Structure 1
Amino acid sequence: MDFLNFPAILVAAVSALVVGFIWYNPKVFGNAWMQAAGLTEEQLKGANMAKIFILAFIFAFLLAMTMMQMSIHQTGALSLIGGDASKALPSYTAFMADYGDAFRTFKHGALHGTMAGIFVALPIIGTNALFERKGAKYIFINSGYWIVTLGVMGAIVCGWK
Protein backbone atom coordinates (compact mmCIF):
# COMPACT_ATOMS: atom_id res chain seq x y z
CA MET A 1 0.00 0.00 0.00
CA ASP A 2 1.37 3.37 -1.01
CA PHE A 3 0.83 6.10 1.58
CA LEU A 4 2.51 8.89 -0.33
CA ASN A 5 -0.51 10.51 -1.96
CA PHE A 6 0.95 13.59 -3.68
CA PRO A 7 -2.40 15.03 -4.81
CA ALA A 8 -3.66 14.87 -1.21
CA ILE A 9 -0.45 16.42 0.08
CA LEU A 10 -0.66 19.25 -2.47
CA VAL A 11 -4.33 19.93 -1.65
CA ALA A 12 -3.53 19.87 2.07
CA ALA A 13 -0.74 22.39 1.48
CA VAL A 14 -3.09 24.66 -0.47
CA SER A 15 -5.67 24.29 2.31
CA ALA A 16 -3.26 26.05 4.70
CA LEU A 17 -3.30 29.09 2.42
CA VAL A 18 -7.08 28.96 2.02
CA VAL A 19 -7.66 28.75 5.77
CA GLY A 20 -5.17 31.61 6.20
CA PHE A 21 -7.02 33.80 3.69
CA ILE A 22 -10.19 33.29 5.72
CA TRP A 23 -8.68 33.33 9.23
CA TYR A 24 -6.60 36.47 8.76
CA ASN A 25 -9.25 38.33 6.77
CA PRO A 26 -10.01 41.70 8.44
CA LYS A 27 -13.64 40.59 8.89
CA VAL A 28 -12.55 37.49 10.83
CA PHE A 29 -9.33 37.79 12.90
CA GLY A 30 -7.20 40.00 10.64
CA ASN A 31 -7.67 43.29 12.47
CA ALA A 32 -7.36 41.67 15.90
CA TRP A 33 -4.21 39.85 14.74
CA MET A 34 -2.63 43.08 13.45
CA GLN A 35 -3.35 44.78 16.76
CA ALA A 36 -2.05 41.83 18.81
CA ALA A 37 1.07 41.59 16.63
CA GLY A 38 1.68 45.33 16.89
CA LEU A 39 1.43 45.79 13.13
CA THR A 40 -0.25 48.42 10.98
CA GLU A 41 -1.62 48.16 7.45
CA GLU A 42 1.18 50.48 6.36
CA GLN A 43 3.80 48.08 7.72
CA LEU A 44 2.21 45.17 5.87
CA LYS A 45 2.19 46.97 2.52
CA GLY A 46 5.14 46.70 0.20
CA ALA A 47 6.12 43.16 1.18
CA ASN A 48 7.18 40.67 -1.47
CA MET A 49 3.93 38.71 -1.43
CA ALA A 50 5.10 36.23 -4.09
CA LYS A 51 8.03 35.25 -1.89
CA ILE A 52 5.81 35.04 1.19
CA PHE A 53 3.20 32.80 -0.47
CA ILE A 54 5.77 30.57 -2.17
CA LEU A 55 7.60 30.00 1.11
CA ALA A 56 4.30 29.56 2.99
CA PHE A 57 3.28 26.91 0.46
CA ILE A 58 6.63 25.09 0.80
CA PHE A 59 6.29 25.12 4.60
CA ALA A 60 2.68 23.91 4.32
CA PHE A 61 3.82 21.12 1.99
CA LEU A 62 6.33 19.98 4.62
CA LEU A 63 3.60 20.07 7.28
CA ALA A 64 1.27 18.04 5.05
CA MET A 65 4.00 15.40 4.68
CA THR A 66 4.33 15.34 8.47
CA MET A 67 0.57 15.09 8.94
CA MET A 68 0.61 12.02 6.71
CA GLN A 69 3.02 10.36 9.15
CA MET A 70 1.04 11.53 12.18
CA SER A 71 -2.43 10.56 11.01
CA ILE A 72 -1.97 7.36 8.96
CA HIS A 73 -1.06 4.65 11.45
CA GLN A 74 -0.08 2.18 8.76
CA THR A 75 3.01 4.27 8.00
CA GLY A 76 4.28 3.10 11.39
CA ALA A 77 3.96 -0.52 10.30
CA LEU A 78 5.80 0.34 7.10
CA SER A 79 8.59 1.99 9.06
CA LEU A 80 8.99 -1.16 11.18
CA ILE A 81 9.98 -3.15 8.09
CA GLY A 82 12.42 -0.50 6.90
CA GLY A 83 10.10 1.14 4.38
CA ASP A 84 10.43 -1.47 1.63
CA ALA A 85 7.24 -3.54 1.49
CA SER A 86 8.71 -5.80 -1.19
CA LYS A 87 11.18 -7.17 1.39
CA ALA A 88 8.61 -7.63 4.15
CA LEU A 89 7.78 -10.89 5.84
CA PRO A 90 4.40 -12.45 5.10
CA SER A 91 3.18 -11.20 8.49
CA TYR A 92 3.36 -7.60 7.20
CA THR A 93 1.25 -8.50 4.17
CA ALA A 94 -1.27 -10.25 6.42
CA PHE A 95 -1.36 -7.29 8.79
CA MET A 96 -1.94 -4.85 5.93
CA ALA A 97 -4.64 -7.09 4.47
CA ASP A 98 -6.45 -6.96 7.81
CA TYR A 99 -5.77 -3.35 8.82
CA GLY A 100 -4.65 -1.52 5.67
CA ASP A 101 -7.57 0.92 5.70
CA ALA A 102 -8.24 1.00 9.44
CA PHE A 103 -8.73 4.55 10.69
CA ARG A 104 -8.20 5.99 7.19
CA THR A 105 -10.99 8.54 7.46
CA PHE A 106 -11.28 12.31 7.22
CA LYS A 107 -12.57 12.36 10.80
CA HIS A 108 -9.57 10.44 12.14
CA GLY A 109 -7.14 12.66 10.27
CA ALA A 110 -8.88 15.77 11.57
CA LEU A 111 -8.55 14.44 15.12
CA HIS A 112 -4.80 13.87 14.73
CA GLY A 113 -4.32 17.23 13.04
CA THR A 114 -6.20 19.03 15.77
CA MET A 115 -4.15 17.21 18.42
CA ALA A 116 -0.96 18.24 16.59
CA GLY A 117 -2.17 21.83 16.63
CA ILE A 118 -2.89 21.74 20.36
CA PHE A 119 0.11 19.72 21.50
CA VAL A 120 2.76 20.94 19.01
CA ALA A 121 1.82 24.28 17.43
CA LEU A 122 0.28 25.91 20.51
CA PRO A 123 3.30 25.33 22.79
CA ILE A 124 5.73 26.50 20.09
CA ILE A 125 3.76 29.63 19.25
CA GLY A 126 3.07 30.30 22.91
CA THR A 127 6.73 30.04 23.86
CA ASN A 128 7.84 32.32 21.03
CA ALA A 129 5.10 34.81 21.88
CA LEU A 130 6.15 34.96 25.52
CA PHE A 131 9.71 35.87 24.59
CA GLU A 132 8.44 38.34 21.96
CA ARG A 133 6.32 39.92 24.71
CA LYS A 134 3.08 39.21 22.86
CA GLY A 135 -0.18 38.71 24.70
CA ALA A 136 -2.69 35.91 24.99
CA LYS A 137 -4.75 37.30 22.11
CA TYR A 138 -1.76 36.90 19.77
CA ILE A 139 -1.17 33.35 21.01
CA PHE A 140 -4.79 32.30 20.62
CA ILE A 141 -5.29 33.85 17.18
CA ASN A 142 -2.15 32.27 15.71
CA SER A 143 -2.52 28.96 17.54
CA GLY A 144 -6.17 28.80 16.57
CA TYR A 145 -5.19 29.16 12.94
CA TRP A 146 -2.73 26.27 13.20
CA ILE A 147 -5.12 24.06 15.15
CA VAL A 148 -7.78 24.49 12.45
CA THR A 149 -5.26 24.25 9.60
CA LEU A 150 -3.58 21.10 10.87
CA GLY A 151 -7.02 19.58 11.48
CA VAL A 152 -7.96 20.25 7.86
CA MET A 153 -4.60 19.02 6.59
CA GLY A 154 -4.82 15.84 8.66
CA ALA A 155 -8.32 15.18 7.37
CA ILE A 156 -7.21 15.55 3.77
CA VAL A 157 -4.07 13.41 3.91
CA CYS A 158 -5.63 10.66 6.04
CA GLY A 159 -9.05 10.45 4.40
CA TRP A 160 -8.03 10.80 0.76
CA LYS A 161 -7.18 7.27 -0.43
Structure 2
Amino acid sequence: MGDIDLLAVFLGAVAFFVIGAIWYGPLFGKAWQREVGLSDAQIKEGNVAVVFGLAFLFELLIAVMLGHNIARTSPAPHVIMMMAVGFGLVIMTPAIGIHYLFQRRSGKLFAIDAGYFVVGMAAMGGVFVAFA
Protein backbone atom coordinates (compact mmCIF):
# COMPACT_ATOMS: atom_id res chain seq x y z
CA MET A 1 0.00 0.00 0.00
CA GLY A 2 1.40 3.37 -1.02
CA ASP A 3 0.77 6.92 0.05
CA ILE A 4 -1.87 9.07 -1.61
CA ASP A 5 -0.26 11.41 -4.14
CA LEU A 6 -1.65 14.74 -2.92
CA LEU A 7 -0.38 16.65 -5.95
CA ALA A 8 -2.21 14.22 -8.25
CA VAL A 9 -5.30 14.59 -6.06
CA PHE A 10 -5.22 18.37 -6.32
CA LEU A 11 -4.49 18.43 -10.06
CA GLY A 12 -7.09 15.72 -10.68
CA ALA A 13 -9.69 17.91 -8.99
CA VAL A 14 -8.50 20.87 -11.06
CA ALA A 15 -8.89 18.79 -14.25
CA PHE A 16 -12.44 17.81 -13.21
CA PHE A 17 -13.23 21.46 -12.44
CA VAL A 18 -11.86 22.68 -15.80
CA ILE A 19 -13.94 20.05 -17.62
CA GLY A 20 -16.96 21.39 -15.74
CA ALA A 21 -16.20 24.97 -16.81
CA ILE A 22 -16.05 23.87 -20.44
CA TRP A 23 -18.97 21.42 -20.19
CA TYR A 24 -21.38 23.82 -18.47
CA GLY A 25 -20.02 26.82 -20.37
CA PRO A 26 -19.51 26.74 -24.12
CA LEU A 27 -20.44 23.09 -24.71
CA PHE A 28 -23.75 22.55 -22.92
CA GLY A 29 -24.28 25.64 -20.77
CA LYS A 30 -27.37 26.99 -22.50
CA ALA A 31 -28.97 23.54 -22.91
CA TRP A 32 -28.29 22.74 -19.25
CA GLN A 33 -29.68 26.12 -18.19
CA ARG A 34 -32.91 25.48 -20.15
CA GLU A 35 -33.28 21.99 -18.72
CA VAL A 36 -32.95 23.15 -15.11
CA GLY A 37 -35.13 26.20 -15.75
CA LEU A 38 -32.69 28.94 -14.78
CA SER A 39 -32.68 32.35 -16.44
CA ASP A 40 -29.50 34.32 -17.12
CA ALA A 41 -30.44 36.60 -14.20
CA GLN A 42 -30.83 33.63 -11.86
CA ILE A 43 -27.47 32.25 -12.94
CA LYS A 44 -25.83 35.57 -12.00
CA GLU A 45 -27.62 35.74 -8.63
CA GLY A 46 -26.22 34.19 -5.52
CA ASN A 47 -22.68 33.79 -4.38
CA VAL A 48 -20.78 32.37 -7.35
CA ALA A 49 -17.59 32.04 -5.28
CA VAL A 50 -19.39 29.79 -2.79
CA VAL A 51 -20.91 27.66 -5.57
CA PHE A 52 -17.60 27.22 -7.39
CA GLY A 53 -15.67 26.80 -4.15
CA LEU A 54 -17.96 24.06 -2.86
CA ALA A 55 -18.01 22.37 -6.28
CA PHE A 56 -14.21 22.27 -6.22
CA LEU A 57 -14.20 20.87 -2.67
CA PHE A 58 -16.59 18.10 -3.73
CA GLU A 59 -14.37 17.34 -6.72
CA LEU A 60 -11.38 17.29 -4.39
CA LEU A 61 -13.17 14.77 -2.18
CA ILE A 62 -13.80 12.56 -5.22
CA ALA A 63 -10.12 12.87 -6.18
CA VAL A 64 -9.06 11.90 -2.64
CA MET A 65 -11.16 8.74 -2.87
CA LEU A 66 -9.72 7.84 -6.27
CA GLY A 67 -6.22 8.59 -4.97
CA HIS A 68 -6.87 6.38 -1.95
CA ASN A 69 -7.97 3.48 -4.15
CA ILE A 70 -4.92 3.92 -6.37
CA ALA A 71 -2.59 4.06 -3.35
CA ARG A 72 -4.15 0.91 -1.87
CA THR A 73 -3.83 -1.13 -5.07
CA SER A 74 -0.88 0.35 -7.03
CA PRO A 75 -2.60 -0.47 -10.35
CA ALA A 76 -1.26 -0.26 -13.89
CA PRO A 77 -2.16 2.90 -15.84
CA HIS A 78 -4.99 1.23 -17.78
CA VAL A 79 -6.49 0.05 -14.50
CA ILE A 80 -6.35 3.61 -13.12
CA MET A 81 -8.37 4.73 -16.13
CA MET A 82 -10.80 1.83 -15.64
CA MET A 83 -11.24 2.91 -12.01
CA ALA A 84 -11.75 6.57 -12.86
CA VAL A 85 -14.14 6.05 -15.76
CA GLY A 86 -15.82 3.25 -13.84
CA PHE A 87 -16.56 5.62 -10.95
CA GLY A 88 -18.20 8.01 -13.38
CA LEU A 89 -20.03 5.41 -15.43
CA VAL A 90 -21.23 2.87 -12.90
CA ILE A 91 -21.37 4.78 -9.60
CA MET A 92 -22.01 8.47 -10.30
CA THR A 93 -24.20 8.05 -13.38
CA PRO A 94 -26.66 5.57 -11.84
CA ALA A 95 -26.80 7.65 -8.66
CA ILE A 96 -27.87 10.78 -10.51
CA GLY A 97 -30.14 8.65 -12.70
CA ILE A 98 -32.04 7.43 -9.65
CA HIS A 99 -32.22 10.97 -8.30
CA TYR A 100 -33.47 12.37 -11.61
CA LEU A 101 -36.13 9.66 -12.01
CA PHE A 102 -37.78 10.69 -8.76
CA GLN A 103 -37.40 14.38 -9.59
CA ARG A 104 -38.96 13.76 -13.02
CA ARG A 105 -35.95 15.41 -14.71
CA SER A 106 -35.48 15.14 -18.46
CA GLY A 107 -33.36 12.59 -20.24
CA LYS A 108 -31.49 15.47 -21.84
CA LEU A 109 -30.46 16.86 -18.45
CA PHE A 110 -29.44 13.36 -17.37
CA ALA A 111 -27.27 12.99 -20.49
CA ILE A 112 -25.61 16.36 -19.93
CA ASP A 113 -24.85 15.72 -16.27
CA ALA A 114 -23.90 12.05 -16.65
CA GLY A 115 -21.64 12.92 -19.56
CA TYR A 116 -19.88 15.49 -17.39
CA PHE A 117 -19.21 12.93 -14.67
CA VAL A 118 -17.82 10.36 -17.09
CA VAL A 119 -15.64 12.83 -19.01
CA GLY A 120 -14.56 14.61 -15.82
CA MET A 121 -13.55 11.34 -14.22
CA ALA A 122 -11.63 10.37 -17.36
CA ALA A 123 -9.72 13.66 -17.11
CA MET A 124 -9.05 13.03 -13.44
CA GLY A 125 -7.88 9.52 -14.23
CA GLY A 126 -5.56 10.91 -16.88
CA VAL A 127 -3.92 13.11 -14.27
CA PHE A 128 -3.40 10.15 -11.96
CA VAL A 129 -1.93 8.14 -14.84
CA ALA A 130 0.50 10.97 -15.53
CA PHE A 131 1.70 10.71 -11.91
CA ALA A 132 1.79 6.89 -11.80
Q: TM-score, normalised by structure 1?
A: 0.74
Q: How does 1:12-161 map to 2 (within 5 A)?
A: 12-25=12-25, 27-70=26-69, 72=70, 75-76=72-73, 102-103=75-76, 105=77, 107-161=78-132
SS at match of 1:24: helix
The separation in 2 between residues aligned to 1:111 and 1:150, in whole angstroms, is 10
The separation in 1 between residues aligned to 2:2 and 2:79, in whole angstroms, is 19
> Following TM superposition, where does structure 1 have runs of at least 4 consecutive aligned residues deviating by more than 3 angstroms?
none
**Cα deviations across residues 31-53 of structure 1 (Å, max 9, x unaligned)?**
11111112221211122011111
CA contact (8 A) 1:109 1:159 kept: no
The one-letter amino acid of 1:56's match is A
The separation in 1 between residues aligned to 2:91 and 2:100, in whole angstroms, is 14
**Cα deviations across residues 122-144 of structure 1 (Å, max 9, x unaligned)?**
11111111122111001010010
Give the total of aligned pairs.
132
SS at match of 1:42: helix
Structure 2 segments unaligned to the other structure (5+ residues): none
Shift of 1:75: 0.5
The separation in 1 between residues aligned to 2:93 and 2:127, in whole angstroms, is 21
Shift of 1:65: 0.9
The structure showing larger relative contact order (alpha-carbon pairs under 8 Å, at least 6 residues apart) is 2
Cα separation, partners in 2 of 1:49 and 1:13, compared to 1, 3 Å: same
Q: Which has the higher helix share?
A: 2
Instruction: Quote the sequence identity (%).
Output: 31
Structure 1 segments unaligned to the other structure (5+ residues): 77-99
Larger Rg: 1
Q: TM-score, normalised by structure 2?
A: 0.89
CA contact (8 A) 2:87 2:121 kept: yes
**Cα deviations across residues 64-115 of structure 1 (Å, max 9, x unaligned)?**
0111234x2x604xxxxxxxxxxxxxxxxxxxxxxx6x51x2x432222111
